[in-house]
Structure 1
């Protein structure tokens, strides 16, 4: 198993837009083959940071997920929402494995 860890730098004035973006993903992620652990917004501390964790059985499964995501109309609409609202300033991914 691997976990895709997506780190977001957010516009702190657009947190509500990001929250809409994040709450839209669960059925899309599951439909496309990911196992969503969750999206996390700041509670205390930095107000411009969020994180998502998605599990996959393998890196090959992640690659298939990305292909399905690129073709999914709901995913395309959600990406457009983030782009149009500019709630996400920076997005980066890393992959973790359990020990």
Structure 2
């Protein structure tokens, strides 16, 4: 019986950690609107607000590379997105993309 209680406790703890991680990830994503897609160059232009991962507090319109070309197929000009950006090989690159 004690083993079952331990398993339930560990499962509950794991779910709590996953929920907190997901909430943190949502809170750190930037929000924006796709204004242009350049599939040949693997880039998209985004009008965005603050970008927490880059410590950018002001919004502007910028061109970003995408980590995976498939990301360009998920959205079109005018779509609202949540995204994260990292500097990869010196280029600002969208690494997480969620259509809103």
Shorter-chain TM-score: what band? under 0.3
TM-score by length of 2: 0.25
Using structure 1 for the length normalisation, give the TM-score: 0.25
Greater relative CO (CA pairs within 8 A, separation 6+): 1
Relative to its length, the structure with more helix (as a share) is 1
Q: Which protein shows a greater Rg?
A: 2
